[in-house]
A and B are shown apart, each in its own frame.
Chain A
Amino acid sequence: MPETLLPEPLLEVRQLTKNFHVPGAKGNNTLCALDKIDLHVGRGETLGLVGESGCGKSTLARTLLMLETPDSGSVRFDGVDPFGLKSRDLLAWRRRVQMVFQDPFASLNARMTAGEIVSEPWATHRDLYPTKAARQARLSELFTLVGLRPGDAGKSPQEFSGGQRQRIGIARALALNPDVIVLDEPVSALDLSVQAQVLNLLNELQQRLGVAYIFISHDLSVVRHVADRVAVMYLGRIVETGSTEEVFDRPRHPYTAALMSASPQLDVSGLAPRERIILQGEMPSPLDPPSGCRFRTRCWKAQDICATQAPEPRVSLTDPRHISECHFPLEHTDTEPEPLAHAS
Chain B
Amino acid sequence: MSTITQTVGAPDVRAEDQLVLDVNGLVVELRTPKGTLRAVDRVSFQAFSGRTIALLGESGCGKSMTAKAIAGLLDPIADVAAGQVRLNGTDLAALTPKERRKFAGPELGIVFQDALTALNPVYTVGTQLGEAFRIHHRLSAKAAKVKAVELMRRVGIPEPESRVDSYPHQFSGGMRQRVLIAMAVALNPRLLIADEPTTALDVTVQAQIMALLRDLRTETHMAVVLITHDLALVAEEADTVAVMYAGKVVETGPVREVFAEPHHPYTRGLLDSVPANIGRGEDLKSIAGSPPELHNIPVGCVYQSRCPLVQDICRTVSPPLEPSGAGRTVACHFSKELENA
Residues of A with Cβ closer than 8 Å to B?
52-53, 161-163, 191-197, 199-200, 203, 218, 220-222, 224-227, 244, 258-259, 261-270, 272-282, 297-300, 302, 340-344
Q: How far is the CA of A46 from the CA of B20 in the complex (A)?
A: 49
> B8 contacts which chain A residues (CB < 8 A)?
273-274, 276
Contact (Cβ within 8 A) A268 B260: yes
Give which listed residue, A163, A261, A302, contacts B290 with CB less than 8 A: A163
Contact (Cβ within 8 A) A191 B59: yes
> A218 contacts which chain B residues (CB < 8 A)?
202-203
Chain B stretch 209-244: residues in CB contact (< 8 A) with chain A: 210-211, 229-233, 235-237
Asked whether any CB of chain A lies closer than 8 Å to the CB of B19, the reply is no
Least Cβ distance of B224 to chain A in Å? 16
Q: How far is the CA of A269 from the CA of B276 in the complex (A)?
A: 14
Contact (Cβ within 8 A) A273 B286: no
Given the known inter-chain contacts A192-B274, A221-B275, A225-B280, please indicate yes or no for A278 contacting B58, CB distance below 8 A: no
Counting chain B CB atoms within 10 Å of each CB, the highest count among A195, A273, A276 belongs to: A276
> A282 contacts which chain B residues (CB < 8 A)?
172, 174-175, 205
Q: Which residue of A lies closest to B207 (CB)?
A: A262
Least Cβ distance of B5 to chain A in Å? 5
Contact (Cβ within 8 A) A264 B3: no
Asked whether any CB of chain A lies closer than 8 Å to the CB of B259, the reply is yes
Given the known inter-chain contacts A52-B202, A265-B232, A273-B10, please indicate yes or no for A279 contacting B276, CB distance below 8 A: no
Least Cβ distance of A185 to chain B in Å? 13
> A267 contacts which chain B residues (CB < 8 A)?
9, 235
Least Cβ distance of A54 to chain B in Å? 9
Least Cβ distance of A257 to chain B in Å? 10
Asked whether any CB of chain A lies closer than 8 Å to the CB of B335, the reply is no
Give which listed residue, B2, B6, B288, contacts A302 with CB less than 8 A: B2
Contact (Cβ within 8 A) A279 B3: yes
Given the known inter-chain contacts A192-B270, A300-B3, A344-B272, please indicate yes or no for A263 contacting B229, CB distance below 8 A: no
Contact (Cβ within 8 A) A199 B284: yes
- What are 23 A-B pairs with beta-carbon distances under 8 A? A52-B202, A192-B229, A193-B273, A193-B286, A194-B290, A195-B286, A196-B284, A218-B202, A258-B3, A266-B232, A266-B259, A266-B271, A268-B256, A268-B260, A269-B260, A274-B7, A275-B7, A298-B3, A299-B2, A340-B277, A341-B276, A343-B259, A343-B277
> B89 contacts which chain A residues (CB < 8 A)?
none
Q: How far is the CA of A244 from the CA of B6 in the complex (A)?
A: 26
Asked whether any CB of chain A lies closer than 8 Å to the CB of B313, the reply is no
Q: How far is the CA of A258 from the CA of B229 in the complex (A)?
A: 23
Contact (Cβ within 8 A) B232 A298: no
Counting chain A CB atoms within 10 Å of each CB, the highest count among B9, B231, B237, B285 belongs to: B9
Given the known inter-chain contacts A193-B287, A276-B7, A281-B2, please indicate yes or no for A270 contacting B273, CB distance below 8 A: no
> B273 contacts which chain A residues (CB < 8 A)?
192-193, 195-196
Least Cβ distance of B171 to chain A in Å? 10
> B174 contacts which chain A residues (CB < 8 A)?
282
Contact (Cβ within 8 A) B232 A264: yes
Q: How far is the CA of A203 from the CA of B229 in the complex (A)?
A: 24
Least Cβ distance of B162 to chain A in Å? 17
Least Cβ distance of B48 to chain A in Å? 20
Q: How far is the CA of A263 from the CA of B232 in the complex (A)?
A: 8
Counting chain A CB atoms within 10 Å of each CB, the highest count among B7, B276, B286 belongs to: B276
> A225 contacts which chain B residues (CB < 8 A)?
275-276, 278, 280, 284
Contact (Cβ within 8 A) A264 B236: yes
> A194 contacts which chain B residues (CB < 8 A)?
286, 290
Least Cβ distance of B119 to chain A in Å? 18
Least Cβ distance of A120 to chain B in Å? 26
Contact (Cβ within 8 A) A270 B11: yes
> B290 contacts which chain A residues (CB < 8 A)?
161-163, 193-194
Contact (Cβ within 8 A) B233 A264: yes
Q: How far is the CA of A267 from the CA of B276 in the complex (A)?
A: 10
> A265 contacts which chain B residues (CB < 8 A)?
232, 235-236, 276
